[in-house]
Every structure is written in C-alpha cells, then in structure tokens.
C-alpha cells in the first residue's frame, strides 16, 4: 500500500524551511563575520637562533595570541630595522630590549611592556637558611682556595 503525501504537511514543512532560511539570513546580516575577526598584529622577533625567540613561537602555537583576540604574524628582522619598524608603524610589538631602551633614552616614542629573562635569578641561587656563621665559614673556605671562582668549585 502506497502512502500519498498530504498536501497540508508538505506545505507546513516548506513554510518552516523558508522561515528558518529567512531567520538565518537575517542573523547573518545583523552579525557579520567581520565582527568576530581577530586583529592583525605584526610582532618583530630577533633574527637568528635565540632561545628568547622560542617564547614567541610557543605562544603562537599554543594559541595565547588568539585568546587575546590577536592574529599575530611573527616577522624576523635585525634589531635596528626592528626599532625603525616600531617607530614607523610596521611592527606593533617587538622583542628588542637593549636597543629599545637606548632608543627610549634618545626620545623615541616606545614603551617596554614585558621582559623575559632566561637566566637564573640570584634569589634562586641563594641558600634557604643563611646565617652569619655559615657565611663567615664560606668566606674562610673561599680564602683558602683562591685559585678558582666560587661558581666553578
């Protein structure tokens, strides 16, 4: 036995499909895709092989820039072209610190926001409990063996 489709149900499904299409089209016009686009940011990183450059690569791979709403483009260049690019507006951010600080002292409109240091801090090399007696004993030992610096012994 064949079932004959009911004209009322097919018209109802067609009306619902048309209504959904119109609603999605209206939402697309109200909320364009450009609203959710990430900001393009040009980041200057130093040229060559440096462990400091890896921080910027890892943050891009892990998606930290995306979480902040930025689509970062990492550009390798030397330090002086990096400063010129910052001042000229080609770069939004830079990895430079030493030459950047010198440029700031000369009046360039730059700002140091964050500093990464891969070396161990002095606080992590100190002993947990340091009393005067331990320090004086260590000084006496170092005076007796003055052939090598204390960090080599």
- 9-53, pLDDT tens digit by residue? 667 788 888 899 998 888 777 776 555 668 888 888 887 777 777
Length of the chain equals 153
In the predicted structure, residue 57 carries a pLDDT above the cut 50: yes
In the predicted structure, residue 103 carries a pLDDT above the cut 80: no
CB 38 within 8 A of CB 66: yes
Residue 43 CA, distance from chain mean position: 9
Tell me whether residue 26 is in a domain.
no
In the predicted structure, residue 152 carries a pLDDT above the cut 60: no
- Tell me the CA distances in angstroms from 153 to 54, 116, 121, 137, one per residue in order: 32, 29, 19, 15
Tell me whether residue 50 is in a domain.
yes
- A 10 A CB-CB count for 12 gives 11
- DSSP 8-state secondary structure symbol assigned to residue 33: G
Q: Which residue has the higher pLDDT, 111 or 2?
A: 111
Residue 129 confidence (pLDDT): 53
Tell me whether residue 91 is in a domain.
yes
Per-residue pLDDT reduced to its tens digit, 80-92: 888 888 888 888 8
Tell me whether residue 84 is in a domain.
yes
Q: In this structure, are strands 39-46 and 93-94 parallel, antiparallel, or unpaired? A: parallel
Residue 56 confidence (pLDDT): 82
Highest mean pLDDT (candidates 27-31, 67-71, 97-101): 67-71
Tell me whether residue 145 is in a domain.
no
Residue 16 CA, distance from chain mean position: 47
The parent domain of residue 70 ranges over 36-105
CATH code, domain with 63 = 3.40.190.10
Tell me whether residue 90 is in a domain.
yes
Per-residue pLDDT reduced to its tens digit, 113-129: 766 666 666 655 555 55
Tell me whether residue 135 is in a domain.
no
* Total number of domains in the chain: 1
The model's pTM is 0.50
Residue 68 confidence (pLDDT): 84
Tell me whether residue 139 is in a domain.
no
């Amino acid at each position: 036995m064949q079932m004959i489709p009911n004209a009322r149900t097919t018209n109802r499904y067609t009306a619902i499909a048309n209504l959904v299409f119109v609603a999605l089209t209206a939402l697309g016009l109200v909320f364009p895709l450009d609203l959710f686009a990430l900001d393009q940011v040009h980041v200057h990183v130093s040229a060559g092989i440096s462990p400091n450059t890896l921080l910027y690569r890892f943050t891009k791979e892990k998606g930290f820039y995306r979480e902040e709403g930025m689509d970062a483009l990492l550009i390798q260049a030397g330090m002086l072209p990096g400063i010129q690019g910052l001042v000229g507006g080609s770069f939004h951010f830079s990895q430079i610190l030493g030459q950047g600080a010198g440029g700031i002292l000369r009046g360039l409109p730059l700002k140091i926001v964050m500093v990464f240091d891969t070396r161990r801090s002095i606080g992590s090399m100190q002993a947990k409990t340091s009393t005067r007696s331990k320090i004086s004993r260590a000084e006496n030992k170092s005076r007796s063996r003055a052939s090598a610096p204390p960090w080599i012994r």
